[in-house]
Amino acid sequence: MSDLFLDLTFSLLQTLFMLALAPLIIGIIRKVKAKFQRRRGPSIIQPYYDLAKLFHKGSSQSSTVSWVFHIAPYVCLGAVLVASLMVPFFITNTLGVIGDLIVVVYLLAMVRFFMTLAALDTGSAFGGMGSSREMMISAIVEPTMLLAIFTMALITGTTILSDISFNLASTGLDLVHPSLFLAAAAFFVCLMAENARVPFDNPATHLELTMVHEAMVLEYSGKSLAIMELASWTKLVLFAALMANVFFPWGIATEVTAQAIIMGIVAILGKVVLIALVIAVIESSMAKMRLFRLPNLLTVAFTLALLGVLSYYIL
Amino acid sequence: MSVEDLKEIMEGLPPAILPAIAHWEADAEQLTIQVEKGALPMLAGHLHRKHHARLISEHVADERREEGCFILYLVLILPRDKGVVTCLAEIEPLYGSFPSITSEIFAANWFEREVQDLFGLTAEGHPDPRPLMLYDDWPADRYPLRKDFDATVPIPRVPSHYAFKRVEGEGIFEIPVGPVHAGVIEPGHFRFSVAGEPIINLEIRLGYVHRGVEKLSEALPYAQGTFLAERISGDNGYSHSLAYCQAVEAAAALQVPERALFLRTVYSEMERLYNHMGDVAGIVLDTAFTPGAQMAYLLRERLMGLNESVSGSRFLRSLNCLGGVRRDIDHVASLRINAFLVKAKLDFNDFKMKVLGMPSFLDRTETTGVLSLEAARQLMVVGPVARASGIDIDVRRDRPYAAYKDVSFNVPLHREGDVQARFLVKCEEVYESISIIEQALDQIPAGPISVHMSAVPEMLARFSLVESHRGELMHWILTGAGCPHRHKVRDASFMNWPALEVAVPGNIVPDFPLVNKSFNLSYAGNDL
């Protein structure tokens, strides 16, 4: 009983932590990108101000929208937060009992599903374009993501995310297997694709015709835009947490002691910021790919994940 | 070119046209043929096919008070400056129509639609007679460029509908974009017909910034016209005012002092430099490689700072006057420009190396938005767009004005016609511009920078071509009493917009902004 209570407390704490941290991570990415562009750039806490501003603003919407458009922001943020309950952040105590990696992956698919529905709902041409592109990308991203995390499930013998972290972190280097790196590489490509980063999408563009993610939230304003933005920022942190704790969980707290938890917080902050830096460097060092070349890159990721699974059995 | 060559053209005319010719005369650079309007398509077609004449402008002047009719002017230029041929035809006000030459010279398409809108004259046999310049809710019986149009009376709004071309078929849908865009861009409406991502058809609807520049100019004394010309299109304001000044100076037969000619060359190239810098930066930015774009934007900013320190204006405003220029470049400023350009060239080298060394950038730009040589010739595009498609034209070399005959430079040429070719042409022109400025500053003679403007005789038609950073632009002036009787402006964008409609189909929707950026056309310059 007390175990469940601990799990519940910690997963709530971790979810809140991810939610609170998300704007900061976005701020850091933007700041680093600005430095690469020889700009000073806004402060790293600017996204918090943006959210506060949006929450105070009125909202307007197209006259054709139905209830889907109105509930989509809450569904998206809700699904991301529920998924966060099952993902270890600084400690391996999570609500793993209510769902494993498959539930997490499909909760994220639900975010995408409602976002594309809402975009179609507005009746705007850009929404339709954004939706069709998002679906094209996700058709390959989804199986890749599953395969990559499955590789880790094979290595550690469990599909529950916190147990994957726990097993890896507590066993030390014995479980390190070549397929871990293949799967990690595949997952990183998914991270970039799912979070609409260059070379898949350009989060900083004003060109409606080139947008993928931005085109889908184009019709949102005010509070609902703030919730949509917060949902996608939290999703980025969630992906970073998956990357950090499923593939390289070392440093995460595996027992409930103050020392371990502080250590875990420092470790995860370091890892998430490191991932943010890598994203910023990649975004600053290449052009966006042509839309129809994206499947090539995604198929490479899929192949890597597949090799990860195969090499687990062969090696 | 000599009078004999132009006379030879007259002798070579097919016999069928000869009876329709009322009058002709040839001087050192211009052949003027007055012809019955019915023979116009045949004459234009002959000059185009036999002599490869390129259409510069087709426009009308309202001379009902003077001559009792409208007069249609067709200005054609022979390749490599073998001279200019102007065909005139009278249009009786009663019938109000003229035969369309669009089937002979396709580039006349928009010109004739513009004449229909602004003068209420019908282009008979025009394949696409929809309105072009005036907006949909403009009443059908008001023609702003007629002399009896009163610009002070408010215009009633009449609801109407513009019929876009429809593409039909399974899975085809339309994407309307604009006229209000997400960024700080001028207004224009783009109607895409797409099958998934590939674009089947693009139709561009402009005219949202029609300000009546030509009508305004008819009420402005010549001296003030330079300021109006500057405001036609913000970023090539210097080129526009230069073309206006040259046209008026030609009418007044005014000799501009040598020093002013060199200064005009320097200012023209300074304008081209900062604009090209913005263009290449924009292309890189639209591939989402922001750090690279920023290198060129930084240079552009510094160049505009240089403009300000030399001329007092970041956009080189108010530098021209009739008879010369207003502001001299002294020895100190000239040293400053030279020192700056040496450094700018190195910085630009870095930018070029960085961007062209990036496979992901090359992959985006190669084979994107191809404008074939054939299409470019048919549409008679100008400027870097033409030079990227293999058409070797440049007013600065072919028909030198200011001091361009005293400096040597290359005209970069590429044949691929894609975004990358346009990018490369602009990059190479940056080096040529730097070299032209350096040469001009080295040779600049001492002397006055302007002379007093003499009186301008009435009813003289003169025109001037200037190579702006977008390409050849034209100001054509029929002089009147103290101000132009008719002032026709043709920006390079007016020739190049239709080419965008040709270059885009076959590409995918997300590549359109990149293609559009590589053309970088002016909306205000087109709409007037």
What is the distance of C-alpha A132 from the center of its chain? Answer: 20
- For B364, the token pair is 């985006």
For B270-311, how does the pLDDT look when each residue is reduced to its tens digit (9 = 90+)?
999 999 999 999 999 988 888 889 999 999 999 999 999 998
Task: State whether residue B177 sits within 8 Å of chain A by CB.
Answer: yes
Q: B206, B136 in Cβ contact below 8 A? A: no
For A133-162, how does the pLDDT look when each residue is reduced to its tens digit (9 = 90+)?
889 888 889 999 999 988 888 888 888 888
Bridge partners for B89 per DSSP? B72
What region does A239 belong to: left with phi over 0, alpha with psi -120 to 50, or beta?
A: alpha
Residue B366 and residue B469 share a domain: yes
Cβ <8 Å between B183 and A291: no
What's the gap in Å between the CA of B510 and the closest CA on chain A?
A: 4
Task: State whether residue B506 sits within 8 Å of chain A by CB.
Answer: no
Cβ <8 Å between B197 and A292: yes
Domain end call among B183, B205, B227 = B205
Residue B233 and residue B257 share a domain: yes
Q: In terms of C-beta density within 10 A (0-12 exposed, 13-18 middle, 19 or more buried), how is residue B84 classed?
A: buried
Helix (H, G, I), strand (E, B) or coil at A87: coil
Residue B466 and residue B513 share a domain: yes
**What is the domain-level CATH number for residue B234?**
1.10.645.10
Domain end call among B124, B149, B184 = B124
- For A86, the token pair is 């099952």
For A75-107, how does the pLDDT look when each residue is reduced to its tens digit (9 = 90+)?
999 999 999 998 899 988 888 778 888 899 999
Is pLDDT above 80 for B322? yes
* Cβ contacts of B199 on chain A, cutoff 8 Å: none
**What is the domain-level CATH number for residue B21?**
3.30.460.80
Residue B327 and residue B222 share a domain: yes
* Cβ contacts of A289 on chain B, cutoff 8 Å: 360, 363-364
Q: In terms of C-beta density within 10 A (0-12 exposed, 13-18 middle, 19 or more buried), how is residue B10 classed?
A: middle
Please name the helix (run of DSSP H) or strand (run of DSSP E) that holds residue B61, with its range, or none: strand B54-63
Cβ <8 Å between B290 and A33: yes
- For A27, the token pair is 């701020």
Average pLDDT score, chain A: 89
Task: State whether residue A36 sits within 8 Å of chain B by CB.
Answer: yes
The model's confidence at residue B16, banded by pLDDT at 50, 70 and 90, is: confident
Cβ <8 Å between B294 and A38: yes
Domain hosting B409: range is: 213-520
Cβ <8 Å between A286 and B290: no
How many angstroms separate the CA atoms of B48 and B108, rounded?
12
The share of chain B scoring above pLDDT 70, in percent, equals: 100
Cβ <8 Å between A125 and B175: yes
Closest CA to B283 of B499, B497, B519: B519
CB atoms within 10 A of CB A73: 23
* Domain presence at residue B527: no
Bridge partners for B484 per DSSP? B479
Q: Which single residue is written with the structure tokens 């081209």?
A: B272
Cβ <8 Å between B288 and A206: no
Is pLDDT above 80 for A225? yes
How many angstroms separate the CA atoms of B405 and B323, rounded?
19
For A242-258, how does the pLDDT look when each residue is reduced to its tens digit (9 = 90+)?
999 888 888 888 888 88
Cβ <8 Å between B363 and A293: yes
Find, in chain B, the residue whose alpha carbon is nearest to that of A128. Answer: B175
Residue B178 and residue B322 share a domain: no
pLDDT at B197: 86
Cβ <8 Å between B288 and A209: no
Residue B353 and residue B218 share a domain: yes
Task: State whether residue A209 sits within 8 Å of chain B by CB.
Answer: yes
Residue B196 and residue B259 share a domain: no
* Domain presence at residue B152: no
Scanning A82-141 for CB atoms below 8 A from B yields 125-126, 128-129, 132-133
Find, in chain A, the residue whose alpha carbon is nearest to that of B361. Answer: A287
Question: A158: which DSSP letter?
Answer: -
Q: How many domains does chain A have?
A: 1
Mutate to test the interface with A, among B280, B289, B420, B504 (most CBs of A within 10 A): B289
Cβ <8 Å between A198 and B174: no
Phi, psi of B197 (to 5 degrees): -90, -35
Domain end call among B100, B124, B148 = B124
Mutate to test the interface with A, among B360, B362, B507, B508 (most CBs of A within 10 A): B360
Question: For residue A248, how many C-alpha atoms fall within 13 Å in the half-sphere facing its CB?
Answer: 16
Average pLDDT score, chain B: 89
Cβ <8 Å between A129 and B509: yes
Find, in chain B, the residue whose alpha carbon is nearest to that of A212. Answer: B510
The model's confidence at residue A235, banded by pLDDT at 50, 70 and 90, is: very high
What's the gap in Å between the CA of B333 and the closest CA on chain A?
A: 29
* Identity of the residue in A128, A132, A289 whose CB atom sits nearest the CB atom of B360: A289
Q: B171, B189 in Cβ contact below 8 A? A: no
DSSP B16-48: TTGGGEEEEEE-SSEEEEEE-GGGHHHHHHHHH
Cβ <8 Å between A198 and B288: yes
How many angstroms separate the CA atoms of A308 and A149, rounded?
10
DSSP A48-79: HHHHHHHHTS-----TT--HHHHHHHHHHHHH
* Cβ contacts of B290 on chain A, cutoff 8 Å: 33, 36-37, 204, 284
CB atoms within 10 A of CB B176: 13
* Identity of the residue in A205, A208, A287 whose CB atom sits nearest the CB atom of B364: A287
* Identity of the residue in A38, A206, A285 whose CB atom sits nearest the CB atom of B182: A206
Mutate to test the interface with B, among A134, A208, A219, A282 (most CBs of B within 10 A): A208
Task: State whether residue B181 sits within 8 Å of chain A by CB.
Answer: yes
How many angstroms separate the CA atoms of A149 and A157, rounded?
12
How many angstroms separate the CA atoms of B398 and B19, rounded?
33
pTM of this prediction exceeds 0.80? yes
Is pLDDT above 50 for A1? no
Residue B406 and residue B336 share a domain: yes
Task: State whether residue A299 sits within 8 Å of chain B by CB.
Answer: no
Cβ <8 Å between B181 and A208: yes
Residue B184 and residue B110 share a domain: no
Q: In terms of C-beta density within 10 A (0-12 exposed, 13-18 middle, 19 or more buried), how is residue B316 classed?
A: buried
Residue B463 and residue B397 share a domain: yes
What's the gap in Å between the CA of A282 and the closest CA on chain B?
A: 10
Closest CA to A183 of A296, A295, A92, A312: A312
Find, in chain A, the residue whose alpha carbon is nearest to that of B296. Answer: A37
- For A305, the token pair is 């994940």
Residue B280 and residue B179 share a domain: no
Scanning A213-232 for CB atoms below 8 A from B yields none
What's the gap in Å between the CA of B192 and the closest CA on chain A?
A: 10
Find, in chain A, the residue whose alpha carbon is nearest to that of B182. Answer: A206
pLDDT at A290: 86
pLDDT at B300: 93
Helix (H, G, I), strand (E, B) or coil at B55: strand
Mean pLDDT of B8-27: 81
- For B43, the token pair is 């004459």
Q: Which single residue is written with the structure tokens 């700041």?
A: A31
Q: In terms of C-beta density within 10 A (0-12 exposed, 13-18 middle, 19 or more buried), how is residue B26 classed?
A: buried
Per DSSP bridges, beta strands B199-205 and B189-195 are antiparallel
How many angstroms separate the CA atoms of A121 and A75, rounded?
15
Mean pLDDT of B239-248: 93
Residue B371 and residue B327 share a domain: yes
Find, in chain B, the residue whose alpha carbon is nearest to that of A37. Answer: B291
Helix (H, G, I), strand (E, B) or coil at A91: strand
Domain hosting A80: range is: 2-314
pLDDT at B34: 87
The model's confidence at residue B1, banded by pLDDT at 50, 70 and 90, is: low
Task: State whether residue B195 sits within 8 Å of chain A by CB.
Answer: no
How many angstroms separate the CA atoms of B392 and B394, rounded?
7
* Identity of the residue in B295, B361, B511 whose CB atom sits nearest the CB atom of A287: B361
pLDDT at A2: 66
Mean pLDDT of B32-59: 88
Task: State whether residue B244 sits within 8 Å of chain A by CB.
Answer: no
For B182-191, how does the pLDDT look when each residue is reduced to its tens digit (9 = 90+)?
777 888 899 9
What's the gap in Å between the CA of B1 and the closest CA on chain A?
A: 48
Cβ <8 Å between B294 and A210: no
* Cβ contacts of B301 on chain A, cutoff 8 Å: none
> How far from B157 is each of B137, B138, B142, B143, B154, CA to CA, in Å?
5, 6, 11, 14, 9
* Domain presence at residue B353: yes
* Domain presence at residue B150: no
Is pLDDT above 50 for B430? yes
* Identity of the residue in B173, B175, B513 whose CB atom sits nearest the CB atom of A207: B513
Closest CA to B83 of B49, B47, B134: B47
Please name the helix (run of DSSP H) or strand (run of DSSP E) that holds residue B199, with its range, or none: strand B199-205
Task: State whether residue A287 sits within 8 Å of chain B by CB.
Answer: yes
B165-179, B353-367, B412-426, B495-509: least confident range: B165-179
Q: How many domains does chain B have?
A: 3
Task: State whether residue B358 sits within 8 Å of chain A by CB.
Answer: yes
* Identity of the residue in A126, A206, A292 whose CB atom sits nearest the CB atom of B183: A206
* Identity of the residue in B298, B358, B512 whose CB atom sits nearest the CB atom of A38: B298
Mean pLDDT of A97-123: 89
How many angstroms separate the CA atoms of A135 and A109, rounded?
10
